């Protein structure tokens, strides 16, 4: 008799557990192997390198050695660290948690039951923003927000406004909007998928019982996709923590560190100043923030695992 | 148990793919032929290197040297990523190219890292070596005084001046600044007469990287008679009068007179292309500090052609602060060819290297790239002398300064860029910025390695 | 379909159209520049619209090869991530396993390490294993780095397929595998496509990993060759860059259009849920 029959017949509990575990191990073997070799090992090496003077060039590159916690000391003495952490939190909070999730849900929700062609066109435009290469997205936004850019042209023609140096006057707002623009597609797709799973009958029954539209959304629809919303917020947060090229092309982290998030700060130290070990130490702060945020979400949003 | 069988199959497949498929044998030197890999930072199909080291040139070389094959290995990347990739590749004999193109500012650092082969014993036996410009040879040495690179190309910087703009501002047709004050006065005149024109442009944002250190800060500083680094005492210059004067000039342009580009132009990573591909061709910039290579940009096949370039524009030399001798100054950089220490094919690579740097190819390269040649004999070539603005550029080179031959320079350069940006953006006063720079440099090179030049 | 009153529907159409327009505006620069051989950083209407930029890209065999390589790498990556994630997500979703929570959490945390920090250790590992310059090894590495998200999302989507449906299938005599294939997977198709598209897109736009791990220029995918439009001294060939980008967005756009058949279908699968 093979194992599936054993499950089917629902025999003794512990034996079923045993079978389940054995099956689990087999099923998870491919991912375990891959994660172990290509994911965990480099990650651990990264942590080890943060304790070294690893450098791409210069004298340090010829003699790799452990320097203890010197990189961390240097990091905590650097005022740019606090700025970068703060910028990262602001950037993630507004562009991912608030912007992308909100617009993603709004679009996915309103797309339901709309004309097929219309839905396809809207979806394509939003997806296009997502799949355009990051450096080009940077260019698009620099052009859009530039002195003679589209936004100033519209503001001038419609509102009679004088041109504003958007990117320089509102650097953080600019990169947040650009990232909302770029990332919304992902949340939209996730929510589309989740909303598809809501059985029609449930909503219909609520309408029959006289629920208003608002009640329908807040009491039926949102609770039913609550799990997805929570998971999505978590995934989007972790993705946004790592956003680099977009910011780097648009502002380079400037003016004067105003948009320097941790990945930008890390890149500058590791690849512009060639202090890889130091950069690695910075990236571990990012890891820490990611972990803290996830734990926080699990507490507040009750992300099920 | 079908599901787990399937999982097992996939698991085995992945493992096999991992173990068998991944390994890529480095295949070389079968039948005694050595492949020499040449790496440089490339810009696609139209890259000038393909025209200089053309298929025909390679075929001719391989016919003459049947034991050597040349493989061009262009690297597509931003400038910063190019150096990272090269440094990583040179760490191992399995991945290193055999000839690499190095920017002269990073060459001393890579030499110190032990990536590069000293070439002194090679050039000693090379008759052409005497033909290379002496000052440029020095620019390709490490901090230990050894020769690590063969100069491939160099450049000079000056002030691109739009004659249409200066004429409208009431300046003489042959106007050329004799001091910094002349520049400021002219910029104000341009501002008064033509409000839509950028009177004077120079890069000041950290996003523009090394060029800010070199062609803005250092070109100004060396005009005060000071230097960034004293090669004899091995000390870095901080807290000096010249540094303050330089920052004051930047402050004057960007904040007091407001004769620079708007901050949204100058703080953007696209500063260069905005000024040189967009605004100058439209006659919207009075003066711009930049290199001679822009002629390539403005030529007929360039990205932003300017008809009659030599009539519309002038390449003025950067004057010294008060016009003190020698009257003008320029910073010269450029790219050099180097041999990675880890290469297994150094002998063959050197043969290729010599062939890559003949007089004829030096001329071709300067013509193709709009840069300046590194050989004295090529500089006399009639074809070369026909290049636009070549007279001015060659004159500029006579007073050329080079960046410090010190492996810490790339890090100091970052501190310079931050200092310049904070002044231009009006976030720090010149004296505060200079003080911050002094602290930064001491942190990089150590307290005892700085002093104040008089 | 749900009965919605006409005004509400109309307002929703208008709001969606406005959002789409706002999303389109920043892309205008790319669209305009792609048909303008003298494109610059600022937005401008092309004086002489031309397809020359596209022709330059389409006739460049190196670029076309890099597109092909990118498609292969990203395609394989997406397929394998989906397959491996389905396998791993099933027990994580269905069985009470003791080490489930720490496992899921730790793989997720680690993804917040930026690739720029991890790539140097990876490079050295590749050197050690003699994997450098191997497209297969690079793809396998990229599969591994996308697995955490893949497994997480897959488990989340699988959780929303009611266990009772599967049990019903077992009672009808299906094996576990048949239950998954006939009941779970069809209900999860939208989720599978979401993960597939997500993985494909992430891989398709991944510059740093192939750039560092692959040394031969002829093996590089499109995400790297895009940098050939960036010249020295900050000069950029904007027209061709934009044309390249337009072509570059096509694969995912096509993939999404195809996937739309299985997404937002309203309630075509809903009938099975009781």
Q: What is the CATH number of the domain that holds C184?
A: 1.10.3720.10
Measured CA distances, A242 to A130, B87, C195 (Å): 15, 24, 19
- For C97, the closest chain A residue by CA position comes to A21
Q: What is the rounded average pLDDT of the residues C90-106? A: 86
Average pLDDT (C133-150) is: 93
Which pLDDT does position C247 carry in this prediction? 93
Task: State which of B347, B370, B393 marks the end of a domain.
Answer: B370
Q: Is A57–B115 a contact, with Cβ atoms under 8 angstroms apart?
A: yes
Alpha-carbon gap, residue B295 to B299, rounded angstroms: 6
Distances (CA, A) of A53 to A58, A82, B350: 11, 22, 33
Domain hosting residue A172, numbered range = 72-301
The strand order across the sheet containing B229-230 reads B229-230, B235-237, B450-451
Residue B1's pLDDT is: 43
User: A5-14, A41-50, A129-138, B143-152: lowest mean pLDDT where?
Assistant: A5-14
* pLDDT over 50 at B60, yes or no: yes
The Cα of B143 is separated from the nearest Cα of chain A by a number of Å equal to 11
B422 touching A (Cβ < 8 Å): yes
Token pair for B404: 């410090």
pLDDT at B427 (0 to 100): 87
Partners for B (CB, 8 Å, 3+ pairs)?
Answer: A, C
Q: What is the CATH number of the domain that holds A261?
A: 1.10.3720.10
Q: What is the pLDDT of residue B157?
A: 92
Question: Is there a domain that residue C20 lies in?
Answer: no
CA pair distance A284, A290, nearest whole angstrom? 10
Residue B349 within a domain:
yes
Q: Nearest Cβ partner of C190 from A131, A141, A193?
A: A193
**Between C273 and B319, where is the model more confident?**
B319
Using CA atoms, how far apart are residues A242 and A244, in angstroms rounded to an integer? 6
Residue A230 in domain: yes
Closest to C148 measured CA to CA, from A190, A35, A21: A35
Q: What is the pLDDT of residues B114-139, one digit of tens each?
A: 999 999 999 999 999 999 998 889 88
Would you place residue C270 in the very low, low, confident or very high pLDDT band (cuts 50, 70, 90)? very low
CB-based contact B200:B260 (threshold 8 Å): yes
Mean pLDDT of A75-95: 92
Q: What is the C-alpha separation between C266 and C254, in angstroms, rounded? A: 21
Alpha carbons C222 and A227: distance in angstroms, whole number: 36
Which residues in C lie closer than 8 A to residue A204 (C-beta atoms)? 2
Chains that touch C (3 or more CB pairs under 8 A): A, B
Q: How many CB pairs under 8 A join A and C?
A: 309
Backbone phi and psi for residue B315, each to the nearest 5 degrees, phi listed first: -105, 95
As for how many domains chain B has, the answer is: 2
- The structure tokens listed for A28 are 């998870």
Local confidence band at B27 (pLDDT 50, 70, 90 cut-offs): very low
Nearest of B78, A223, A95 to residue C230 by alpha carbon:
B78
Say if A253 is an interface residue toward chain C (CB within 8 Å): no
Look at residue C179 in the predicted model and tell me its pLDDT: 84
Report whether B236 contacts B441 (CB < 8 A): yes
pLDDT of residue B13: 56
Say whether both B139 and B199 belong to one domain: no
pLDDT above 60: residue B3:
no
User: By residue range, what is the domain housing residue C90?
Assistant: 44-264
How big is the CA angle at A106 (ends A105 and A107), to the nearest 5 degrees?
A: 95
Q: Decide if B43 and C229 are in contact by the 8 Å CB cutoff.
A: yes
**Per-residue confidence at A160, pLDDT binned at 50, 70, 90?**
confident
User: CA angle C237-C242-C248, nearest 5°?
Assistant: 125
Cα distance from A286 to chain C (closest Cα, Å)? 7
> Quick one: which H or E segment has residue C78?
helix C61-94
Residue C274 has pLDDT above 50, yes or no: no
Is A167 within 8 Å of A142 (Cβ atoms)?
Answer: yes
CA gap B45, B50 in Å, rounded: 8
Q: What are phi and psi of A14, to 5 degrees?
A: -60, -35
Residues of chain C with pLDDT > 90, as a percent, come to 33
**pLDDT value of residue C173:** 84
Grouping H, G, I as helix, E, B as strand and the rest as coil, residue C96 is coil
Residue C240 forms part of a structural domain: yes
| Domain-located, residue A32 | no
Kindly report the nearest CA distance between residue A164 and chain B, in angstroms: 9
Higher pLDDT pick, B430 / A218: B430
Average pLDDT over residues B373-377: 93
Going by their DSSP bridges, the two strands B328-331 and B318-319 should be labelled as antiparallel
Over range B401-422, report the average pLDDT.
90
What gap in Å lies between CA C53 and CA C30, rounded to an integer?
12
B86, part of any domain: yes
Nearest to B43 by CA among C50, C119, C37, C238: C238
Position A24 confidence tier, pLDDT thresholds 50, 70, 90: confident
Say whether B43 and C133 touch across the interface (CB within 8 A). Answer: no
Number of CB atoms found within 10 A of residue B14's CB: 21
CA distance A234 to chain C (A): 10
Share of chain B above pLDDT 90, in %: 64
Q: Label residue B319 exposed, middle or buried (CB < 10 Å: 0-12, 13-18, 19+).
A: buried
Flag whether B358 is in a domain.
yes
The residues facing C260 across adjacent strands are none
Structural domain boundaries enclosing B266: 158-331+405-451
Which of B83, B209, B210, B268 to probe the A interface (max A CBs under 10 A)? B268
By CB atoms closer than 10 A (0-12, 13-18, 19+), residue B361 is: middle
CA separation, residue B68 to residues A103, B29, B344, B345, B352 (Å): 60, 9, 13, 10, 8
Distance between CA atoms of residues B307 and B300, nearest Å: 8
Structural domain includes residue C112: yes
How far C227 CA sits from the closest chain B CA (Å)? 5
Helices (H), C205-231: 208-213, 222-225
B320 and B355 housed in the same domain? no
Q: Across-strand partners of B198?
A: B285
Evaluate if residue B17 carries a pLDDT over 50. yes
Residue A81 φ/ψ, nearest 5 degrees:
-65, -50
Distance of CA A77 to the CA centre of its chain: 28
Give the pLDDT of residue A8. 45
> In sequence order, what are the residues at sequence separation of 6 or more whose Cβ sits closer than 8 angstroms to the Cβ of residue B453?
B226, B227, B230, B237, B240, B242
**Is the model's pLDDT at A12 over the cut of 90?**
no
**Burial zone of A57 (CB within 10 Å; 0-12 exposed, 13-18 middle, 19+ buried):** buried
Residues B169 and B104 both lie in one domain? no
CA dist., res. A284 & res. A272, Å (int): 19
**Domain identity same for B197 and B135:** no
pLDDT for the residue A3: 40
**And the tokens for B258?**
């407001």
Residue A52: name the closest of A79, A72, A31 by CA.
A72
> Same domain for B199 and B342?
no
Asked if residue C97 belongs to a domain, the reply is yes
My answer on whether B305 and B445 are in the same domain is yes
Same domain, B443 and B349: no
pLDDT at A226: 85
Average pLDDT of span B67-88:
89
Q: At B128, which CATH number?
A: 3.40.190.10
pLDDT confidence tier of residue C39, bands split at 50, 70 and 90: confident
How far is Cα C140 from Cα C81, in angstroms, rounded to an integer? 10
Range B205-217 average pLDDT: 89
Q: Over 80: is that where the pLDDT of B45 sits?
A: no
Count of domains forming chain C = 1
- With a CB-CB cutoff of 8 Å, which residues 147-206 of chain A face chain C? 147-151, 178, 181, 184, 186, 189-190, 192-201, 203-204
To which residue do tokens 């002398």 refer? B385
Best residue in A255, A266, A278 to probe B by mutation, most B CBs within 10 Å? A255
Confidence of residue C267 (pLDDT cuts 50, 70, 90): very low
For residue B18, tell me if it sits in a domain. no
For chain C, say whether B3 makes contact (Cβ under 8 Å). yes
ipTM: 0.84
Please give the Cα distance from A19 to A26 (Å, whole number): 11
B residues 195..254 contacting A (CB < 8 A): 205-207, 209
Report the share of chain A in percent with pLDDT over 90. Answer: 25
What DSSP element (H or E) covers A213? helix A213-215
In SS3 terms, chain B reads as CHHHHHHHHHHHHHHHHHHHHHCCCCCCCHHHCEEEEEEEECCCCCCHHHHHCCHHHHHHHHHHCCCEEEEEEEECCCHHHHHHHHHHHHCCCCCCCCEEEEECCCHHHHHHCCCECCCHHHHHCCHHHHHECHHHHHHCECCCCCECCEEEEECCEEEEEEHHHHHHCCCCCCCCCCCHHHHHHHHHHHHHHCCCCEEEECCCCHHHCHHHHHHHHHHHHHHHCCCCEECCCCEEECCCHHHHHHHHHHHHHHHHCCCCCCHHHHCCCCHHHHHHHHHHHHCCEEEEEEECCHHHHHCCCCCCCCCCHHHHEEEECEECCCCCCCCEEEECCCEEEECECCCCCHHHHHHHHHHHCCHHHHHHHHHHHCCECCEHHHHCCHHHHCCCCHHHHHHHHHCEECCCCCCCHHHHHHHHHHHHHHHHCCCCCHHHHHHHHHHHHHHHHCHHHEECCC
Is the model more confident about C158 or about B15?
C158
Residue A151: inside a domain, yes or no?
yes
- What is the C-alpha to C-alpha distance for residues C86 and C158, in angstroms, rounded to an integer? 9
Buried b (16+ CB within 10 A) or exposed e, A104-136: bbbbbbbbbebeeeebbebbbbbbbbbbbbbbb
What does the alpha-carbon distance between residue B98 and residue A5 come to, in Å, rounded to a whole number? 63
User: Torsions phi, psi of C111, nearest 5?
Assistant: -65, -15
Residue with tokens 């100091």: B412
Distance of CA C33 to the CA centre of its chain: 25
> B194-204 in b/e burial notation, b at 16+ Cβ within 10 A?
beebbbbbbbb
* Domain total of chain A: 1
Mode of pairing for the β-strands spanning B99-103 and B34-41: parallel
C212 contacts chain A (CB < 8 A): no
Distance, in angstroms, between B31 CA and closest chain A CA? 35
- Last residue of one domain, picked from the residues B348, B370, B392: B370
Q: How confident is the model at residue C271 (pLDDT cuts 50, 70, 90)?
A: very low
User: Average pLDDT of chain B?
Assistant: 89
Residue A250 CA to residue A140 CA, distance in Å, equals 9
How does the average pLDDT of chain A come out, rounded? 85
């Amino acid at each position: 008799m093979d194992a599936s029959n054993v499950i089917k017949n629902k025999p003794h509990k512990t034996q079923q557990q045993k079978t389940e575990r054995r099956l689990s191990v087999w099923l998870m073997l491919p991912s375990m192997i891959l994660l172990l070799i290509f994911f965990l090992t480099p990650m651990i090496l990264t942590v080890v390198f943060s304790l070294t003077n690893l450098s791409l060039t210069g004298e340090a590159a010829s003699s790799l050695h452990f320097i203890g916690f010197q990189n961390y000391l240097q990091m905590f003495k650097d005022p740019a660290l606090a700025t970068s952490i703060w910028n990262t939190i602001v950037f993630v909070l507004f562009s991912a948690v608030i912007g992308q999730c909100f617009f993603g849900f709004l679009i996915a929700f309103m797309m339901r039951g709309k004309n097929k062609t219309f839905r396809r066109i809207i979806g394509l435009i939003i997806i296009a923003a997502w799949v355009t290469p990051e450096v080009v997205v940077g260019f698009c936004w620099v052009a859009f927000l530039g002195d003679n850019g589209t936004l100033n042209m519209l503001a001038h023609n419609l509102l009679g406004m004088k041109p504003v140096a958007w990117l320089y006057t509102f650097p953080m707002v600019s990169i947040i909007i650009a990232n909302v623009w770029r990332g919304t597609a992902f949340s939209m797709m996730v929510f589309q998928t989740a909303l598809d799973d809501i059985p029609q009958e449930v909503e219909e029954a609520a309408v029959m019982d006289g629920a208003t539209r608002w009640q329908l959304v807040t009491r039926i629809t949102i609770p039913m996709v609550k799990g997805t919303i929570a998971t999505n917020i978590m995934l989007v947060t972790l993705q946004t923590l790592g956003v680099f090229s977009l910011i780097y092309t648009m502002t380079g982290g400037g003016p004067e560190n105003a948009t320097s998030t941790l990945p930008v700060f890390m890149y500058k130290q590791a690849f512009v100043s060639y202090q890889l070990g130091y950069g690695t130490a910075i990236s571990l702060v990012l890891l820490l923030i990611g972990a803290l945020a996830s734990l926080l979400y699990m507490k507040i949003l009750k992300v099920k695992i | 148990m079908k599901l787990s069988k399937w999982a097992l199959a996939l698991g085995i497949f992945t493992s096999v793919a991992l173990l068998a498929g991944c390994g890529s044998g480095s295949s070389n030197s079968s039948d005694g032929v050595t492949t020499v890999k040449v790496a440089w930072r490339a810009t696609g199909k139209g890259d000038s290197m393909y025209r200089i080291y053309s298929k025909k040139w390679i075929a001719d070389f391989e016919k003459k040297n049947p034991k050597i094959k040349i493989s061009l290995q262009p690297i597509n990347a931003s400038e910063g990523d190019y150096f990272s990739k090269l440094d990583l590749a040179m760490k191992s004999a399995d991945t290193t190219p055999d000839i690499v193109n190095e920017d002269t500012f990073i060459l001393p650092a890579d030499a110190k890292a032990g990536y590069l082969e000293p070439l002194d014993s090679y050039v000693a036996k090379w008759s052409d070596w005497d033909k290379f410009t002496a000052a440029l040879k020095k620019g390709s040495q490490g901090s230990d005084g050894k020769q690590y690179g063969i100069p491939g190309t160099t450049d000079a910087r000056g002030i691109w001046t739009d004659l249409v703009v200066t004429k409208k501002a009431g300046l003489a047709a042959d106007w050329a600044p004799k001091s910094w004050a002349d520049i400021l006065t002219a910029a104000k005149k341009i501002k008064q007469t033509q409000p839509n024109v950028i009177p004077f442009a120079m890069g000041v944002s950290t996003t523009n990287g090394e060029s800010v250190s070199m062609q803005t800060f250092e070109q100004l500083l060396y005009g005060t008679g000071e230097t960034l680094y004293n090669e004899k005492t091995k000390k870095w210059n901080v807290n000096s009068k010249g540094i303050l004067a330089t920052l004051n000039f930047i402050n004057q342009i960007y904040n007091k007179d407001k004769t620079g580009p708007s901050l949204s132009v100058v703080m953007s990573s696209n500063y260069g292309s905005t000024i040189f591909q967009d605004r100058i061709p439209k006659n919207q910039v009075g003066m711009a500090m930049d290199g001679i290579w822009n002629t390539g940009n403005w030529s007929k096949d360039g990205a932003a052609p300017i008809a009659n370039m030599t009539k519309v524009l002038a390449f003025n030399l950067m004057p010294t602060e008060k016009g003190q001798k020698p009257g003008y100054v320029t910073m010269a950089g450029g790219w050099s060819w180097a041999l990675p220490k880890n290469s297994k094919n150094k002998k063959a690579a050197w043969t290729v290297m010599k062939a890559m740097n003949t007089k004829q190819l030096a001329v071709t390269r300067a013509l193709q790239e709009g840069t300046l040649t590194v050989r004295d004999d090529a500089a006399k070539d009639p074809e070369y002398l026909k290049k636009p603005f070549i007279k001015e550029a060659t004159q500029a080179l006579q007073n050329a300064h080079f960046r410090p031959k010190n492996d810490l320079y790339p890090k100091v350069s970052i501190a310079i860029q931050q200092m310049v940006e904070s002044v231009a953006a009006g976030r720090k006063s010149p004296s505060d910025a200079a003080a911050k720079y002094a602290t930064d440099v001491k942190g990089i090179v150590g307290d005892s390695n700085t002093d104040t030049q008089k | 379909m749900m009965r919605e009153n006409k005004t509400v529907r109309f307002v929703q159409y208008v709001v969606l159209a406005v959002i789409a327009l706002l999303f389109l505006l920043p892309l205008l620069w790319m669209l305009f520049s792609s048909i303008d051989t003298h494109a610059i950083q600022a937005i401008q209407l092309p004086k002489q619209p031309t397809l020359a930029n596209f022709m330059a890209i389409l006739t460049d065999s190196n670029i076309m090869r890099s597109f092909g390589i990118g498609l292969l790498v990203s395609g394989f990556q997406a397929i394998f991530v989906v397959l491996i994630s389905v396998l791993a997500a099933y027990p994580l979703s269905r069985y009470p396993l003791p080490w489930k929570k720490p496992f899921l959490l730790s793989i997720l945390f680690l993804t917040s390490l930026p690739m720029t920090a991890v790539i140097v250790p990876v490079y050295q590992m590749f050197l050690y294993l003699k994997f450098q310059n191997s497209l297969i090894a690079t793809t396998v590495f990229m599969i591994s780095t996308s697995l955490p998200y893949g497994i997480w999302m897959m488990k989340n989507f699988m959780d929303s397929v009611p266990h009772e449906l599967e049990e019903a299938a077992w009672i009808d005599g299906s094996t576990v595998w048949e239950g998954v294939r006939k009941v779970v997977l069809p209900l999860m198709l939208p989720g599978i496509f979401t993960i597939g598209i997500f993985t494909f897109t992430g891989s398709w736009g991944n510059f740093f990993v192939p750039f560092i791990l692959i040394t031969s220029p002829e093996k590089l995918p499109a995400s790297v060759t895009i940098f050939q439009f960036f010249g020295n001294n900050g000069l950029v060939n904007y027209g061709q860059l934009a044309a390249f980008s337009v072509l570059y967005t096509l694969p995912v756009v096509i993939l999404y259009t195809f996937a739309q058949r299985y997404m937002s279908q309203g309630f075509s699968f809903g009938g099975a849920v009781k």
